[in-house]
Structure 1
């Protein structure tokens, strides 16, 4: 798994049908298959789809949660974008 994404790539996957990607600490996760399993409900995941959800994630979770699901849900990382 060496895929890299731009923030624009992630933003285009903002629904379950398109893959529901989110960013947590520069890593990209696909949550389309996890929406129904999320203990906090699908609504919150759909709200952050296509966005950097780091702040929201760390507000409610600790590192053990990330480690538990990382192997299953992580699909890549954010590519460094050129500054203009």
Structure 2
């Protein structure tokens, strides 16, 4: 079951020990268990932990990467902030 997160929730999970969450196109992924497998190295994922990494992700990856790894790493979506 998919959860809904606020951007603040995602920002609070910015370390491997606390759950390393990133946002890609409105979806939330926990990449803490993937850090050591990441071909670009752990440092890159740790740098974008707790943030929207869409721009960085698409700069270096194509859709096939998300299709391959997304299903096991995706934990939810980002809810839209209330517009006042």
- TM-score bin (small chain): over 0.9
SS of residue paired to 1:33: helix
Instruction: Please report the TM-score for the alignment, with normalisation by the length of structure 1.
Output: 0.97
Tell me whether 1:53 sits opposite 2:39 in the alignment. Answer: no
- Alpha-carbon RMSD across the aligned residues, in angstroms, is 0.6
User: 3-state SS of the aligned residue for 2:33?
Assistant: coil
Q: Separation in 2 of the partners of 1:2 and 1:54?
A: 19
Q: TM-score, normalised by structure 2?
A: 0.97
After superposing on structure 2, the runs of 4+ consecutive aligned residues of structure 1 that deviate more than 4 Å are none
- The answer to which structure has the higher helix fraction is 2
For residues 1-55 of structure 1, the C-alpha deviation after alignment (integer angstroms, 9 at most, x for no partner) is 2200000000000000110000000000000100000000000000000000000
* Runs (5+) with no aligned partner, structure 1: none
Aligned residue pairs, count:
84
What SS does the aligned partner of 1:22 have?
Answer: strand
Query: Could you give the per-residue CA deviations for residues 34-80 of structure 1, whole angstroms, max 9, x where no partner exists?
Result: 00000000000000000000000000000000000111100000011
Where structure 2 has 5 or more consecutive residues not aligned to the other structure, the ranges are none
CA shift, 1:83, in A, is 1.6
1:13 aligns with 13
